[in-house]
Structure 1
């Protein structure tokens, strides 16, 4: 008896077959081909589901997707241009009709937080914030073991909290959002502007910092200052046991010299900030989606389940 956990990203859709203990028995991925539009994304999603389902007793499906998700209806209330045509999509209904299986849908970072709490870094935590820093910036807040989603399904959406009033234009329609200063692409833009070098990945910037390049030192110091502001705000807003850092950029923050400076910045807070790093990597969303699929099977009345 298994469920399928899925994670829909702008570049690829990841999926796995997972048993009741959270063990993966099979995992695969497929290109999202998001630029081809909504129908192509759905076509690829069902192709992956069929591949994972083949010859296995599947009892439910969990899906993590970028965007603001109405969990009760399984509907994408808001999505940026990263997934064209995704806004307004009743994803739960579409997948249930095609597969005949119970389906639960939530925001991708919410699913990642669920995964880390089930089988990762947050296994022994009851109240924590997850902050993912990669192509974008996302957040999730778990309070006393339950995800907090808010009245409009946008609680802990830290990527779209304004850091610089009137600053860089964000694809959500606002200006100065955190995502425009802390995401991987934002770091690359900052480094290119300050150094004139054609960086392609955030890791390259951190590598030059660790080698002692003076121009990159200034770039990373500015980046860490912005990150410090975000972490302090999160700590004071939620008072969590820990902030779990995930996403591709967060891995570079683990370098001893970078981490030392980050710890130094966080140490100035009047309230202790405990940082821990996610353990499941890019599997967190898939694992969390599978966990929610098991809960969906056990609790068909989702109205009584979600906060």
Structure 2
């Protein structure tokens, strides 16, 4: 059987492993993402590749390639990170394939992190055998991946599918991309925490509620996880914030359906700790909106591969693309 090395680069951790053609993760290691310099990250990647290559040789496993998923705008053809993320140190204009190819004889594929998430779910998860799907990852930000007619949609050079930066409110808050009212400002963990802080500030003094008074004085401790905890406890401010997030996400999903005519929407990411409840509310909202012939047939599902989706999606690139940069094999 053939195997590949998969590497999923995130702002806080890097997951790497040896993965089989059918998506089984045989060996997995997780490392903290170096915060010092770009070179420290690259050095870690080189060490990972060396170690896993040695492991495969010892165990008699034939490696056919290396697949990497990373946040940012990726020039897929050149294997280069053009514009990265603030969570990864100096992750801009990085010729990653060129650098790593000097350390290995294996072909190296570099892809956007949510694109590989979509790829994994389409091959082995919620979207198996679906040729038209959209994947949204709700985490610190909101990322998107689009497969249409069996093809990954990347745009002119790979920067397409930045679905978190569609505007859902032209008078909304300024996003970190510089635009106003982006989906990311409402449906990401950062956006949910921001809205809760604003609600607490606007509410004024809350007599007799020591917990609220504490978070009014310490807004830096407000997280999206806290908002969901307060919502489950029946807190009206938290409920308002979560509903606002669901509304924004639902409007965006309907816009994506109108634009790309998918048969499935797959949602994942750390924000979905309440999982099925959250997605059911999105389904309910979406079902009342948009062009019926487009919206009604679309399934909205949660990712099935969990935390390993990024690693699996990164790893299967040598088989999926196999030198053909566009066609996704069924």
Normalising by structure 2, report the TM-score.
0.84
Alignment match, 1:177 = 182
Tell me the residue number matched to 1:274.
299
CA distance in 1, matches of 2:128, 2:273: 20
Shift of 1:166: 5.2
- TM normalised by structure 1 equals 0.90
- Separation in structure 2 between the aligned mates of residue 161 and residue 262 of structure 1, nearest angstrom: 17
CA distance in 1, matches of 2:117, 2:261: 20
8 Å Cα contact 2:75/2:159 also seen in 1: no
State the 1:109 CA deviation.
Answer: 0.5
Which residue in 2 is equivalent to 1:204?
226
Q: 1:175 to 1:250 in 2, by over 3 A?
A: same
The answer to whether structure 1 residue 231 and structure 2 residue 250 are counterparts is no
Q: Secondary structure in 1 aligned to 2:103? A: helix
Greater shift, 162-171 or 223-232, is seen at: 162-171
Q: Does 1:100 align with 2:105?
A: yes
How many residues align structurally?
A: 300
8 A Cα contact 1:64 1:111, kept in partner: yes
1:38-62 Cα shifts (integer Å, max 9, x gaps): 1111122222223322231433100
- What are the residue-to-residue correspondences of 1:141-290 with 2, within 5 Å? 141-165=146-170, 167-195=172-200, 197=215, 198=219, 199-255=221-277, 258-269=278-289, 270=292, 271-272=295-296, 273-290=298-315
What are the ranges of 5 or more consecutive residues in structure 1 without an aligned counterpart?
Answer: none
Structure 2 residue aligned with 1:117:
122
Task: Note closer, same or farther for the CA distance 1:253–1:54 as it changes in structure 2 (3 Å cut).
Answer: same
Whole-angstrom distance in 1 between the partners of 2:8 and 2:152 = 18
Q: 1:27 aligns to what?
A: 28
Task: Please list the CA deviations of residues 137-195 of structure 1 after superposition, one character each: whole Å capped at 9, or x if unmatched.
Answer: 01011112221111142222111222333543333333332212211011112112213
After TM superposition, where is structure 1 displaced by more than 6 Å over at least 4 residues in a row?
none
Could you list the runs of 5+ residues in structure 2 that have no partner in the other structure? Answer: 58-62, 201-211
Contact 1:81–1:171 (Cα < 8 Å) also in 2: no
Contact 1:29 1:48 (C-alpha < 8 Å) held by counterparts: no
Does the 8 A contact of 2:6 with 2:68 survive in 1? yes
